[in-house]
Amino acid sequence: MYLLIITIFLLLFFTLVLKKSLLLSGVAGLIVAVIVIIFSEGFQINSFISPVLHGLLVAAEIGLLIFGAILFHNYLRAGGFIKKLENSLQQFSTNKLVIVILLAFFFGSFIEGVSGFGTPAMIIAPLLLGLGFPAYLAAALPLLANTVPVIFGAVGTPIKIGLADLPVQQMPIYAAMLMLLPAVMIPIIFKRFLEADSLLLKGSNALKNYFIAVMAGVSFVIPFIFFSNLGPDFPSMAAPVAGLAIWLLIVKTTGSSFATINRTSLLHFYKTFRPYLFIALLLVTGKFLLGDIKFNIVWPAVGLKKSIHLFQPGLIFITGLLLLYAFGKNNTAISIATIFKQTATPLPTTFITIACLAILAKLLSQNLDVKELLSSDNIPAPLFYIMAIATGFLGSFIAGSATVSNLMFGTEWYQTGQQFHLHIPLLLAAQLAGAAVGNALSVQNIAMVQAVLNEKGLERSIIKKLWKPVLLFFLFICLTAVFLSLLNKIQ
């Protein structure tokens, strides 16, 4: 556990205090982790080959996603789609809070439910940047929004794969209940963020903006809870669609005193938004056709075992671009070769950064043991659930994935629940909820968003903006978990 503490301290110290890039922070953290492991356990080449190869494979998958997302965005910008969409969004509503909730909260949740892999921020952040949002805020907003839907992301992957072979029948509804307060709070925090950057006026508009934000949260959580009763596959896809319809109906029918939404611009908005809807359709189709197809890379001599899924969102982005180019109109002025070259140029630095962080995450996972935290038999039962939330958070923070966090800790928490007679579905849900919240501050995810925005040095500003709401979400989840654990004990 001391290795984890040292590594997290170094990453935050280099990023926040020394204001170094994530590349330097990741390299420093990796070097220190290797030194600590060597001095504590001795040098064994096999114990390092597997994490290195695993990290390179992970970086290749993430690199493909980043390349595809940037390539698709650069194509849309070169073809004038982005400018038309920006104009359409401005006609749709003059209220930036409405735009942020529409894009980051509802549409981002849908994309997470379809594909996962950090795709929502890859799509939403460049749009917000183009609409005039500061770069750090364009990155922070979708990262914060992409917490609640992560528990059911990629058609239930964090549960179906991250907790495979474990009894999870009741777990989805508990996970949704743990994320209830964060889901309601996200649009309200959006409001505070926009006011802090003078993108939203205070004073006389406070009431209508609170109304818009609260109704967005409520409109989302009602279908979110409902669909979670049906299993982990569809809540993050179905809830934002149903929630968006409810929210638009509520906000529009309350009159212009609450929000400026131009009803006649809906059709124009749909037309300009079609490339993203097309990509969403391809992602849904690809996930259903290819989602369960994978091949395993196994090297027993070094302990390497890595599953590569045939469904890769990065390839979906590239396929969508080529289809739009082949069948679109007025594409003769667009040079695909130039766009490919422009996109590929900054990619090596991003790949090295993510590879260092992925290798570091794998090294930490090999040297972590939940049982170190459970050496005492006198731990109060509610504390187990808080500790599960904490391990989920840390796993996602270092790995950038709720699924990986569940793979790291899920089985051990299941065994712990059996040993201490805890409520296992709630315990596993606590692990998952913590992982979902940790996703917002993951250094890998921050690196990915920076790469898409083609911006550097945003780490400190993003973390500074997000740590307070993330801590608030963490506390909300802990309180809810303790309440549910006591309620189950009474029953």
* This prediction's pTM: 0.80
Residue 203 contacts residue 210 (beta carbons within 8 Å)? no
Q: Helix or strand or coil: residue 297?
A: strand
- What are the beta bridge partners of residue 296? 307
Buried b (16+ CB within 10 A) or exposed e, 194-205: bbeeebbeeeeb
Angle of helix 266-290 versus helix 119-130 axis, rounded to 10: 160
Q: Cβ distance 101 to 213 under 8 Å? A: yes
- Cβ-count burial of 378 within 10 angstroms (0-12 exposed, 13-18 middle, 19+ buried)? exposed
pLDDT tens for 148-165 read 999 887 667 788 767 866
Residue 258 burial class via C-beta count within 10 angstroms: exposed 0-12, middle 13-18, buried 19 and up: buried
CB 100, CB 209: distance < 8 Å: no
pLDDT of residue 373: 59
* Percent of the chain surpassing pLDDT 90: 22
Domains of the chain, by residue range, sit at 2-490
Segments of the chain with pLDDT less than 50: 255, 257-259
Model pLDDT, residue 257: 46
Look at the alpha carbons of 137, 138, 141, 143 in this order and tell me if their dihedral is positive or negative.
negative
- Residue 125 tokens read as 């952040």
Per-residue pLDDT at 483: 93
In this prediction, residue 389 carries a pLDDT of: 95
CB 172 within 8 A of CB 235: yes
Residues paired with residue 298 on neighbouring β-strands, in sequence order: 305
